[in-house]
């Protein structure tokens, strides 16, 4: 069942009129180019590559790429926020997760660290959606511990020889350029480097497509590197700078997840409120029972307060003052909240909540992973705890 039409949220103080115009355009794009095909893409467990090109053509992909390379040259991160929020409100978060990862997670590494030659080689096709990006950090035995990465890149003349394995790689099927975190020395933190592997390199193989519980339209795979010879010209930034590059991008990555999670929680709450006002039991709407009112009052309060904090984090990130701890708080709090809201929504929908007839069930299944990726919520609490001197 398709998602219901939701009321447009009022304009928030952190956005200008141009942002709301962009929001409206993107919402229309999703309605025309994504929503009608999402069910098929869920079954396929991958979106077509043409989606990236269509998004680029409408100004919804790789907006940060400068005009000289064929991009819009827009560096205002609030436009990226709008992409995540509208994906959630349209109920197609997994279907547009690939283009958002390309734009909001992977591209900034290229923009921050690529030299002029790399920019000339990669940016025009990245901007056009013709070369799709992925980033490969997670390994079967490392999880959230970046310092434990075992994939190796050994220098041999003008090349690196890369060996190792990565897992849970979003865009793993579609990706043409994969930013790989690999160990170039034994130094725990200073021994990591970022190297860009390209589709078609000998020894670069894609493994099975991982069968996930939810978010099926977002392709997720294993990657294998068997003596892959990669030109040293594909080293992104200085050798040994990988750990610092990765850490520098964790704040916006976690805020990206926080912004889509609070938007998803608002959407799920709105769907549930609409349902309990219409569904009757014992001759009256189920929303009129005290337990339902108290549950929804509590969730409404938590969502409203959380929205204020997330908007403050967005504002602080835009002006360069959002801290690692604040991003960690936003990530763990919003994803916990999203799971709580969708779980309550399923319960209040009764048996229908556990079917595919109502979108709340899909929202519930898709929400669960958010407490795990971009650093587990347990890791977020550990980071916050360290700032307290604990």
Q: Are 228 and 203 in contact (CB under 8 A)?
A: yes
| DSSP state letters, 275-332 | HHHH-EETTEEGGGSHHHHHHHHHHHHHHHHHHHHHHHHHHHHHTT---HHHHHHHHH
Fold (CATH) for 134-240:
Butyryl-CoA Dehydrogenase, subunit A; domain 2 (2.40.110)
The whole-number pLDDT of residue 43 equals: 93
Q: What are the pLDDT tens digits along the chain (390 aa)?
A: 444 555 555 679 999 999 999 999 999 999 999 999 999 999 999 999 999 999 999 999 999 999 999 999 999 999 999 999 999 999 898 999 999 999 999 999 999 999 999 999 999 999 999 999 999 999 997 766 777 899 999 999 999 999 999 999 999 999 999 999 999 998 888 899 999 999 999 999 999 889 999 999 999 999 999 999 999 999 999 999 999 999 999 899 999 999 999 999 999 999 999 999 999 889 999 999 999 999 999 999 999 999 999 999 999 999 999 999 999 999 999 999 999 999 999 999 999 999 988 999 999 999 999 999 888 999 999 999 999 987
Burial class (CB in 10 A: 0-12, 13-18, 19+), 347: middle
pLDDT of residue 1: 45
At residue 8, the pLDDT reads 56
Radius of gyration for the chain, computed over Cα atoms and rounded to the nearest angstrom: 21
Q: Which are the contacts of 43, defined by CB distance < 8 A and separation ≥ 6? A: 216
Q: Give me the CATH code for the 17-131 domain, please.
A: 1.10.540.10
Beta strands in the chain, from DSSP E residues, in sequence order: 133-136, 152-156, 159-170, 177-183, 192-198, 204-209, 220-231, 235-236, 280-281, 284-285
Q: Report pLDDT for 11.
A: 73
Give residue 2's pLDDT.
46
Residue 330's closest CA among 388, 273, 265? 265
Fold agreement (17-131, 249-387): no
| pLDDT at residue 6, rounded to an integer | 54
Sign of CA dihedral 259, 168, 223, 379: positive
Q: Specify the pLDDT at position 208.
A: 85
Give me the phi and psi of 292, to 5 degrees please: -65, -45
**Residues whose CB falls within 8 Å of the CB of residue 12, separated by 6 or more in sequence, listed in order:** 311
- In this prediction, residue 80 carries a pLDDT of 97
Task: Round to whole Å and give the CA distance between 148 and 168.
Answer: 16
- Looking at 3.30.200.20, 1.20.140.10, 1.10.579.10, 3.90.226.10, the CATH number of the domain 249-387 comes to 1.20.140.10
169: Cα separation from own chain's centroid: 12
Which active-site residues does the annotation give?
253
Q: Domain residue spans in the chain?
A: 17-131, 134-240, 249-387
Alpha carbon distances (Å) from 150 to 67, 174, 189, 191, 198? 38, 24, 12, 11, 20
């Amino acid at each position: 069942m398709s998602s219901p039409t939701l009321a447009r949220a009022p304009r928030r103080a952190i956005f200008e009129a141009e942002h709301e115009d962009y929001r409206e355009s993107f919402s229309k794009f999703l309605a025309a180019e994504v929503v009608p095909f999402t069910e098929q893409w869920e079954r396929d467990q991958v979106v077509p590559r043409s989606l990236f090109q269509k998004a680029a053509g409408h100004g919804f992909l790789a907006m940060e790429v400068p005009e000289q390379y064929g991009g819009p040259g827009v560096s205002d991160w609030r436009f990226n926020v709008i992409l995540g929020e509208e994906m959630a409100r349209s109920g197609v978060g997994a279907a547009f997760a690939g283009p958002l990862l390309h734009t909001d997670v992977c591209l900034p590494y290229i923009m921050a660290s690529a030299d002029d030659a790399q920019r000339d080689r990669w940016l025009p096709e990245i901007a056009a959606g013709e070369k799709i990006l992925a980033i490969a950090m997670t390994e079967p035995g490392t999880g959230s511990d970046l310092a434990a990465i075992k994939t190796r890149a050994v220098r041999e003349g003008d090349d690196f020889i890369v060996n190792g394995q990565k897992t849970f790689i979003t865009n793993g099927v579609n990706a043409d350029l994969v930013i790989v975190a690999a160990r170039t020395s034994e130094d725990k933190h200073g021994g990591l480097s970022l190297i860009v592997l390209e589709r078609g390199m000998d020894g670069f193989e894609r493994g099975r497509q991982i069968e996930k519980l939810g978010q099926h339209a977002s392709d997720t795979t294993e990657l294998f590197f068997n003596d892959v010879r990669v030109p040293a010209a594909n080293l992104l930034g200085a050798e040994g700078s990988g750990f610092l590059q990765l850490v520098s991008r964790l704040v916006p990555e976690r805020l990206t997840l926080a912004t889509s999670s609070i938007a998803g929680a608002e959407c799920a709450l709105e769907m549930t409120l609409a349902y309990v006002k219409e569904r009757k039991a014992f001759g009256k709407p189920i929303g009129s029972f005290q337990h339902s009112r108290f549950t929804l009052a509590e969730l409404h309060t938590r969502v409203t307060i959380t929205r204020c904090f997330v908007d403050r984090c967005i504002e602080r990130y835009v002006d360069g003052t959002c801290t690692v701890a604040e991003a960690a708080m936003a990530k763990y709090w919003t994803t916990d909240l999203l799971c709580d809201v969708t779980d309550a929504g399923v319960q209040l929908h009764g048996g229908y909540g556990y079917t595919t007839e109502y979108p709340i069930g899909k929202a519930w299944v898709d929400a669960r992973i958010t407490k795990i990726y971009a650093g587990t919520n347990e890791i977020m609490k550990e980071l916050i705890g360290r700032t307290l001197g604990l």
